[in-house]
């Protein structure tokens, strides 16, 4: 058995290309063409395949390293079927043709039938693969291949890698979740019956918008997978509204609409700092909490095509006025369909404000992988007992939904009580 060094082949005109994923480790057996590492250039990601088969004896690279043609990736003890006579030069002269670029063309659904995987019980992770969203998903060729083998629609998988890239672990986690929710002990629900509505009167069929379809899948997944609890509360915003309204004309002149939402975002961040579990996510195994030290807030925006949730970053470091200005910009961008996918990623907690529309309370669905969402309804003037009299006070209804796997009921109530106290006296934001 001979030792062979696996190297980076000819990767075209790229220099110093970063390794974003290492797909094998010491002791793994690899076959010829198995992917070893994933590289990312400005334009695409590419997998580097093994030129020989064998068992990896040492890995010579790690995530973050930058490599060029001819650099060593790993050493293997070549197996019998290997071709020991192949030299490094032979490997280096293999062309980029061998490397699958990420910009995979959509294929007809029957061109690449997902292989049945006996270990995954019915129902399969997805009923069918949406080829368009699959092709647009941000994932390396090896992850695409892996997803196809399991019949996973990458369009439905949330990426945990850099810039939202989907990793092999994300695909495994998706399958695991599908198994838990669909397998023995999981949800066993009868399918919806098909109804001929025209039998009861005149009807018309309207196709759902792309946003409606994507949001629908996402909300359904979150609703089914997350044990939701909604905590209701009220905040006395009489003083806050007096102050805000006194400032409105000054900022209107600068084209900035100083709405309640900017104050709410600041107050939510203050509460997240006090209760850090609200600024966390469960990892893909469901066994660890990832606590975040940044404060990005998603805002649900109602558009003619459906709901989108752009994210305002670093709310803790921005002034109320900067936040109000940014809110104005993202609302316009959302309604003009100018938001980029990255504008909607990285949120820590979301706010859904229906205050401009109406209602007294509602139960928003957690925007996973976040663990909580604050719903806000229309504020009303109510008589509030001050110990001696009833006083008219402006009360804001709060509806906080949270993931009960991460947040206890007591903490849910503490969070809204604290939030209400901050909103009733915004000087607390300075503390």
Q: State in angstroms the smallest separation of the CB of 324 from ligand CAO.
A: 8
The only residue of 61, 301, 366, 395 in contact with ligand CAO, by rule CB under 6 A: 301
Total interface residues for ligand CAO by CB under 6 A: 21
Q: Report the residue number, 100 or 379, with the smaller CB distance to ligand CAO.
A: 379
C-alpha–C-alpha distance, residues 419 and 268, integer Å: 7
Extract the tokens encoding 100: 């699958």
Which residues in the 73-102 window bind ligand CAO by CB under 6 A? none
Instruction: Print the binding letters for residues 241-280 with ligand CAO: x by CB under 6 A, - otherwise.
Output: ------------------xxx-------------------
CB within 8 A of 351, min separation 6: which ones?
Answer: 261, 264, 265, 268, 297, 298, 299, 300, 373, 374, 375, 376
Binding window for ligand CAO (CB under 6 A); candidates: 4-12, 180-188, 280-288, 349-357: 349-357
Active site residue 404: yes
299 touching ligand CAO, by CB under 6 A: yes
396 touching ligand CAO, by CB under 6 A: yes
Binding window for ligand CAO (CB under 6 A); candidates: 17-25, 29-37, 226-234, 301-309: 301-309
C-alpha–C-alpha distance, residues 19 and 61, integer Å: 8
C-alpha–C-alpha distance, residues 46 and 141, integer Å: 7
Q: State in angstroms the smallest separation of the CB of 299 from ligand CAO.
A: 5
Which residues in the 362-391 window bind ligand CAO by CB under 6 A? 364-365, 376, 378-379
380-384 contacts: CB < 8 A, separation 24 or more?
A: 384/236
Q: Which residues pair with 19 in a beta bridge?
A: 39
From 138, 228, 293, 404, active-site residue: 404
323 touching ligand CAO, by CB under 6 A: no
Which residues in the 147-176 window bind ligand CAO by CB under 6 A? none
400 touching ligand CAO, by CB under 6 A: no
What per-residue string of b and e applies to 167-176 under the rule 16 or more CB within 10 Å gives b? bbebbebbbe
Extract the tokens encoding 274: 């006090």
344 touching ligand CAO, by CB under 6 A: no
Extract the tokens encoding 230: 């909604």
The only residue of 45, 231, 270, 331 in contact with ligand CAO, by rule CB under 6 A: 331
Alpha helical stretches, state H, 183-237: 210-225
C-alpha–C-alpha distance, residues 371 and 298, integer Å: 12
What per-residue string of b and e applies to 384-393 under the rule 16 or more CB within 10 Å gives b? eeeeeeeeeb
Binding window for ligand CAO (CB under 6 A); candidates: 48-56, 267-275, 353-361, 414-422: 353-361
Task: Name the CA dihedral angle for 137, 143, 147, 153, rounded to a multiple of 10 degrees.
Answer: -10
Binding window for ligand CAO (CB under 6 A); candidates: 12-20, 178-186, 203-211, 295-303: 295-303
The only residue of 34, 169, 302, 305 in contact with ligand CAO, by rule CB under 6 A: 302
Q: List residues with catalytic annotation.
A: 404
Give me the residues that bind ligand CAO (CB under 6 A), please.
Answer: 259-261, 299-302, 307, 327, 331, 352-356, 364-365, 376, 378-379, 396
């Amino acid at each position: 058995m001979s030792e062979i060094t696996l190297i980076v082949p000819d990767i075209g005109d790229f220099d110093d290309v970063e390794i974003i994923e290492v797909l094998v480790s010491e002791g793994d057996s690899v076959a010829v063409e198995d992917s070893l590492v994933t590289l990312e250039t400005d334009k695409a990601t590419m997998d580097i395949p093994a030129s020989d088969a064998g068992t990896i004896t040492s890995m010579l690279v790690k995530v973050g390293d930058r490599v060029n043609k001819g650099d060593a990736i790993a050493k293997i003890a070549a197996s019998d079927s290997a071709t020991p006579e192949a030299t490094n030069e032979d490997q280096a002269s293999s062309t980029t043709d061998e490397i699958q670029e990420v910009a995979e063309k959509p294929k007809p659904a029957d061109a690449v039938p997902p292989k049945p995987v006996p270990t995954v019980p019915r129902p399969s992770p997805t009923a069918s693969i949406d080829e368009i969203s699959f092709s647009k998903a941000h994932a390396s060729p090896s992850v695409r291949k892996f997803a196809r083998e399991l019949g996973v629609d990458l369009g439905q998988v949330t990426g945990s890698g850099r810039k939202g890239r989907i990793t092999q672990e994300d695909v495994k986690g998706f399958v695991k979740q599908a198994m838990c929710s669909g397998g023995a002990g999981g949800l066993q629900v009868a399918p919806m019956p098909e109804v001929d509505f025209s039998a009861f009167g005149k009807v018309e069929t309207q196709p759902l918008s792309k946003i409606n379809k994507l949001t629908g899948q996402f909300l359904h997944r979150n609703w089914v997978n997350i044990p939701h609890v909604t905590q209701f509360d009220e905040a006395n915003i009489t003083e806050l509204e007096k102050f805000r309204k006194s400032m409105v004309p000054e900022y209107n002149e600068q084209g900035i609409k100083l709405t309640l939402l900017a104050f709410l975002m600041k107050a939510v961040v203050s509460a997240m700092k006090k209760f850090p579990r609200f600024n966390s996510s469960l990892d893909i195994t469901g066994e660890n909490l990832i606590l975040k030290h940044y404060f990005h807030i998603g805002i649900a925006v109602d558009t003619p095509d459906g709901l989108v949730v752009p994210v305002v970053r670093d709310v803790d470091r921005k002034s109320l006025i900067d936040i109000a200005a940014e809110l104005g910009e993202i609302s316009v961008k959302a309604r003009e369909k100018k938001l980029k996918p990255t504008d909607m990623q990285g949120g820590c907690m979301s706010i859904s404000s229906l205050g401009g529309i109406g209602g007294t309370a509602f139960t928003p669905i957690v925007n996973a992988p976040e663990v909580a969402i604050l719903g806000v309804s229309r504020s009303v003037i109510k008589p509030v007992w001050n110990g001696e009299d009833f006083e008219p006070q402006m009360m804001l209804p709060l509806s906080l939904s949270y993931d009960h796997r991460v947040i206890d009921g007591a903490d849910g109530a503490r969070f809204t009580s604290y939030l209400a106290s901050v909103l009733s006296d915004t000087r607390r934001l300075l503390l």
